[in-house]
Amino acid sequence: MTTQSKLAVILHADVVGSTALVHKDERIAHERMQGAFRRFSDVISSHGGVVHELRGDALVAEFGRVSDAVSATLAFQLDNRTENESLTDDIRPEVRVGIALGEVVIADNTVTGPGVVLAQRIEQLAEAGGLCISAAIHEAVPRRLPVEFKSLGDQSVKGFDELVRVYSVSKRNEKGAPEPGDPVYSDDRETKSPPPTTALPDWPSIAVLPFSNLSGDPDQEYFADGMTEDIITGLSRFRSLSVVARNSTFAYKGMSPDIRKVARDLGVRYVLEGSVRRGGERIRITGQLIDGETGNHLWAERYDRVLEDIFAVQDEVTEEIVAAIAPEISDVERERAQRKPLGNLDAWGLYQRGLAAYYSSTEEGLKSAIEQFDTVNEIDPTFAPAFAMAAGARWRYVMHFEPDDRGEHLSQALEKAYKAIGLDPRDPIGLYHAGHVHSMLGQHDVAISKSEEAIALNPNDAFSRYFLGSALHAAGRSEDAIPHIDHAMRLSPRDVWLTGMLTSRAFVLFDLERYDEAFGWAQRARLSPNPRSMTFAIWTAVLMKLGRQEEARAALKDLLAHAPGMSCAKYRENPFGGPEAMGRLVDTLREAGLPE
């Protein structure tokens, strides 16, 4: 028996009042219900869907794209209405449909799992001849489809702990007017009226309040205001964040407002506040990131500096605050997405789930990330970050686990990275993933160029700095790589990529034969969260070079436990650090006992 588990667009349909129809005339009722579902099955197939189950009064189907599932349903409902109107009696099977996005298990053409259950529960909220969808489906319906939506609000759904937002859907004609007999619904994605002040947005958004001047010197106001403005500008370079403009936040200058009210008034999820205090030739700057819904502090930091050059201090601290905020928000967003049921996630939430799998750095995690990012791309083909991360998951899978089909993975990674760049040329994420793939293909000049383009778009993005360092190392420019890797770690010292940064730093020093220095960096990498196979490889090699053979062989066991089947041959194919550096690493690992 073949079993497959995945995230899918699921359609569930049944006949309303089927028992009552059967009581009127069992033979005719069954014939007409079967006829309706045969016609629905044909429409589903013509729209690229797959029917997994077809029972007497119910149907379950799977689609690759949200638009196909919605279009197929509305086409069938129109056809079924016409068919029923042609009948002279009242045995008229009316079908209601629910569509949801969720995890499913497919075994021998039978589909089960939370996604099926959610679609069925949502279907039960639809009217006869109607269609209801989950929030994730609503978010992914292309604006070009001639459809109308009506929000049914947050619904309590059996089997799911959290409320599920549900929408009903109907078709309109090409001029935008309702089809005859269709209910008129409004698409609340296009509403011009402001949202209720109690509702916070689904997309991560932030307001930076004016930093307070605690110096007792009015002349220092310019410094506090300058810090605030520079932070707003810096955060605006992160395409994953929506940042409230200066004019809106400076209305709070000199006030001590309730942060949760500020978040509601400005419609943001997060608020950054801070202060500046100068004493003599020293200055202290503090910053706090606050959850706009709960008021909880998510991050806080204090920066003490000597004022040799006040503008240099302003630039340095601004850079560090900006670089720290984006990863903190990303962490919270991933946790938020993990807590939500799949049916209640929009494209951003599904993307965050993919990131959680991606950052696990395990083989299964990266495989899952590839699948989840690809699913987001299918339901929303305009979501650039998901294409970029689909590229990133592929090249990382190749780098750390050396699959047999590495060439195909890298080809797909490059294609998806450039798709992301085409969709959003101002987002560096596609550029630095493209650069890394070019580096793995030995195209070092292109790799360095793409990483430099990414930095130009956002100088505060730690990933771009790190990937430039990696590209320089792979090109044989080890000394040039060090300041960029160090800059990345300074920008984001608690980054989810920190293990990779530490590993790269250790590898560069190993390549430069500075083994005593490499030992400290490799040890930090090994003890950090989610060490990779390359982390254990470099740790093993450094121990060998320092003459600590017994410890090296123990480290090699850790490597093989993390990546079973790893060999000298597979590492030789790994482009990390370039062929010469990798060759020296492989020679040392062979001495430690790594199988050929």
- 256, part of any domain: yes
Same domain, 118 and 46: yes
Reference 292, options 271, 274, 312; nearest CA is 271
CATH of the domain at 585: 1.25.40
H/E element, 417: helix 406-423
Same domain, 165 and 215: no
Burial (Cβ within 10 Å: 0-12, 13-18, ≥19) of residue 91? middle
CATH of the domain at 117: 3.30.70.1230
Residue 97, phi then psi, degrees to nearest 5: -135, 140
Helix (H, G, I), strand (E, B) or coil at 289: strand
Same domain, 13 and 141: yes
Mean pLDDT for the stretch of residues 369-376: 91
Same domain, 58 and 105: yes
Reference 166, options 158, 175, 157; nearest CA is 157
Specify whether the CB–CB gap between 566 and 402 falls below 8 A. yes
- 571, part of any domain: yes
Q: What percent of the chain has pLDDT over 90?
A: 35
Which of 283, 306, 328 represents a domain boundary (last residue)? 328
pLDDT at residue 221 tops 90: no
- Rounded CA-CA distance 526/305 in Å is 32
- 458, part of any domain: no
Same domain, 92 and 216: no
Average pLDDT, the chain: 84
- Rounded CA-CA distance 294/354 in Å is 25
* pLDDT tens per residue, range 304-317: 888 877 778 888 88
Reference 535, options 484, 585, 462; nearest CA is 585
Burial (Cβ within 10 Å: 0-12, 13-18, ≥19) of residue 405? exposed
- Rounded CA-CA distance 42/57 in Å is 16
Which of 171, 197, 217 represents a domain boundary (last residue)? 171
Specify whether the CB–CB gap between 29 and 89 falls below 8 A. no
Domain that holds residue 7: 3-171
Same domain, 79 and 160: yes
Mean pLDDT check: name the lowest of 185-194, 263-272, 360-369, 401-410: 185-194
Which of 171, 196, 214 represents a domain boundary (last residue)? 171
- Rounded CA-CA distance 436/358 in Å is 16
Same domain, 119 and 165: yes
- What is the structure's pLDDT at 70? 93
- 524, part of any domain: yes
pLDDT: is 528 or 538 the higher one?
538
Same domain, 127 and 13: yes
- 39, part of any domain: yes
Same domain, 104 and 227: no
Specify whether the CB–CB gap between 119 and 342 falls below 8 A. no
Task: Check the CA dihedral 587-589-593-596 and report its sign.
Answer: negative
- Rounded CA-CA distance 105/113 in Å is 6
CATH of the domain at 265: 3.40.50.10610
Reference 323, options 389, 242, 234; nearest CA is 234
Task: Check the CA dihedral 62-64-70-74 and report its sign.
Answer: negative
pLDDT at residue 192 tops 50: no
Specify whether the CB–CB gap between 396 and 431 falls below 8 A. no
- 432, part of any domain: no
Q: Report which DSSP code applies to 345.
A: -
Q: Structurally, how many domains does the chain consist of?
A: 3
pLDDT at residue 272 tops 90: yes
- What is the structure's pLDDT at 187? 43
- 280, part of any domain: yes
- What is the structure's pLDDT at 507? 95
- What is the structure's pLDDT at 405? 85
Same domain, 244 and 165: no
pLDDT: is 404 or 210 the higher one?
210
Same domain, 213 and 256: yes
- 163, part of any domain: yes
Mean pLDDT check: name the lowest of 102-111, 545-554, 556-565: 102-111
* pLDDT tens per residue, range 444-471: 999 999 999 998 888 878 888 999 999 9
* pLDDT tens per residue, range 13-67: 999 988 889 888 989 999 999 999 999 999 998 888 889 888 777 899 998 888 8
Same domain, 226 and 274: yes
pLDDT band at residue 544 under the 50/70/90 scheme: very high
The answer for residues whose C-beta is within 8 angstroms of residue 478's C-beta and 6 or more apart is 472, 508, 511, 512, 581
